[in-house]
Amino acid sequence: MKVLQLCHKPPIPTIDGGCIAINNISQGLLQKGIELKIFTASTEKHPFLPDEIPTDFKKKTKIEGLFLDTRVNIIDAFSALVTSDSYNISRFFSPDFNKRLIDILEQDRYDVVHLESLFMTPYVSTIRAHSKAKVILRSHNLEHLIWERLANSTGNKAKKVYLKHLAAKLKKYELNTINEVDGIAAISQEDTDRFKSLDCSTSLITVPFGIDLEKYNVLPNKNVKKNRLFHIGAMNWEPNKEAINWFIDSVFPKISKLDIEIHLAGRAMPKSMFDIANDQLKVHGEVENAQDFMNANDIMIVPLLSGSGMRIKIIEAMALGKAVISTSVGAEGIAYTNNENIIIADSAKDFAKAIEELINNPDKVTLLGNNARKLIESSYSNDSIINNLISFYQSK
C-alpha cells in the first residue's frame, strides 16, 4: 500500500504535541511496511529542518517541505470578516504548494492520501483531480469547537463577538468539508460523536494518539522530587495561554502557602510569565528535552478551559507514571477513571483542593502514576492503533 501523508507541520523535530502525533503515525506506518511519502508545509512557527531529520527517515519517506506564509495578515484577516472564507484555513492554501502537490500525485500512484488536520483540506479538490487515491482526514480536533470555547470563557465582550464569528465560519467550513473526504480518523471518541452530531455521512473511526511504550520508562520514586508541580505546552496556542493565566490568577493564590514549586515550560513563553517568576513559580520557557523535564517533576497540571481533541502531553506524562490533575476539557479523549488514574477538577476551588490532597498524600501520587501507566499500556499502544488505521484505509 502506498500512502501520501500531507502535513500542516513537519513530523520532525517533535517540538510540540501535534508534531509528535504526526510523527507517531509516520513511524507506525513505516513499521507496518507501508510505502510512505511525506509532503509537509513549512511555516515560520514550524519550519522544515532537513538537517534535524534522521537519514533513514528521510530515505524511507522521501520527505520534502515547502514554505507557506501562514502569518496573520491584517488586511486578509479583515477581508475574511466580510466574506465567506475561514481565514484560519485559507492561510494554509498556497499556489506553490498546490503545484508541487500536483507534481507528486502525477509522479506516482497512491492508494491513500492521509491529510493531517483540517488545515490540509483546501487541497482535496486538487487530489481528486489528479489522483484516484482515497482521501482520509486525520482530525486532531474540531477546530470550531476550540474557538467556541475560547469565546465562551472570555469576559471581554468585543473579543467574545470576534471569537464567535471565527468559530461560526470554521464550523461552516467543517460542515462543508467533512463529507468531501472518504473517511475521518478522529483522535477521540468525543470528537467522533461530535462529527456524527454534525450529520457526517463519511465513514468514521476513532484513532487515538498512540505511543511507543519502549521509549517511556518510569523512573523509581527516589529519583523524583515531591511537591514539584509542572505544566508543559506551547504558549503560542491560545488555549494553553488561557489555561495558565487562569491557573495563576484563580488557583495559585489558594495554594501559595503550600510547600510547593510550580514549573512552567513551553515554546513561545510570554515575557509576562518570566516577569512574575519567583522562588515558588519557576518559568523555564522551551526545554531541551520534554521527557527529562517531566521526569524531574512529579504532578502534572492541565488547567485547560478550551480546546478539543486529545492532549498529547497528558498521555506522555501518564506513560512516565506521573500523577495528573486536569480539567474535564483537558482530559477529553482519554479513557480515564477519575481518582483512579487521574484527578479531574473543573473549578479553581477543586483544582486547589486536588493539589493540596496530593501534596499531603505522596502515596496517592504514586498510586495515580502507577495506574496511569497501566492505562496507557492497555489502551494507547501505537502498534494496535496503527493496525486499526490501516484496516480503515483498506475498508475504503
Along the 396 residues of the chain, how does pLDDT read in single tens digits? Answer: 999 999 999 999 998 889 999 999 999 999 999 999 999 999 999 999 999 999 999 999 999 999 999 875 544 444 444 444 454 687 889 999 999 999 999 999 999 999 999 999 999 999 999 999 999 999 988 777 776 777 787 778 887 887 787 778 888 888 888 899 999 999 989 889 989 988 888 999 999 998 888 899 988 765 445 589 999 999 988 899 999 999 999 999 999 999 999 999 999 999 999 999 999 999 999 999 999 999 999 999 999 998 777 899 999 999 999 999 999 999 998 999 999 999 999 999 999 999 999 999 999 999 999 999 999 999 998 999 999 999 999 998
Residue given cell 470555547 in the structure block: 149
Cell 484496516 identifies what position? 391
Are 24 and 210 a contacting pair, CB within 8 Å? yes
Q: What strands lie across the sheet with 323-326, from one edge to the other?
A: 281-285, 261-265, 228-232, 299-302, 323-326, 343-344
53: left (phi over 0), alpha (psi -120 to 50) or beta: beta
Interatomic CA distance for residues 307 and 84, integer angstroms: 24
Long-range contact list for 124-127, CB < 8 A, 24+ apart? 124/177, 124/180, 124/181, 126/98, 126/101, 126/102, 127/101
Fold of 214-379: Rossmann fold (3.40.50)
Cis (ω within 30 of 0) for the bond into 11? no
2-210+381-395 has which fold?
A: Rossmann fold (3.40.50)
| Distance (Å, whole) CA 190 – CA 207 | 11
* Diameter of the chain measured on Cα atoms: 64
What is the distance between the alpha carbons of residues 219 and 322, in angstroms, rounded to a whole number?
10
CB 164 within 8 A of CB 152: no
Dist. CA 351–CA 169, nearest whole Å? 34
Q: Which of 9, 141, 111 is nearest to 396 (CA)?
A: 111
The single-letter DSSP state of residue 381 is: B
User: What is the spatial distance between Cα 123 and Cα 206, in angstroms, rounded to a whole number?
Assistant: 23
**Alpha helix (H) ranges present in the chain?**
17-31, 55-61, 74-81, 87-90, 95-107, 124-130, 143-153, 157-177, 189-197, 238-246, 252-255, 271-275, 290-295, 312-319, 348-359, 362-379, 382-395
Cβ-in-10-Å burial (0-12, 13-18, 19+) of 130 comes to middle
Say what the pLDDT of residue 82 is: 41
User: Which residues make beta-bridge pairs with 138?
Assistant: 116, 185
Radius of gyration of the chain (CA): 21
Partnered with residue 205 across adjacent β-strands are: 185
At how many degrees (to 10) do helices 157-177 and 143-153 cross?
Answer: 160
The SS3 assignment for 363 reads helix
Q: Which three cell numbers stand for residue 10?
A: 513537519
Domain range annotation of the chain: 2-210+381-395, 214-379
* One-letter amino acid for residue 30 of the chain: L
Residue 63, H or E segment: none
Common-topology check for domains 2-210+381-395 and 214-379 = yes
Among the listed residues 36, 196, 24, 175, the one whose alpha carbon sits nearest the alpha carbon of residue 104: 36
pLDDT at 310: 85
Say what the pLDDT of residue 354 is: 98
Q: In this predicted structure, what is the pLDDT of residue 315?
A: 95
Q: How far apart are CA 6 and CA 2, in angstroms?
A: 13
> Cβ atoms within 10 A of the Cβ of 314, count?
26
Give the model's pLDDT for residue 171: 83
d(CA 229, CA 323): 10
pLDDT at 84: 44
Report the candidate in 191, 184, 177 with the shortest Cα–Cα distance to residue 89: 177
308 neighbors 328 (Cβ within 8 angstroms): no
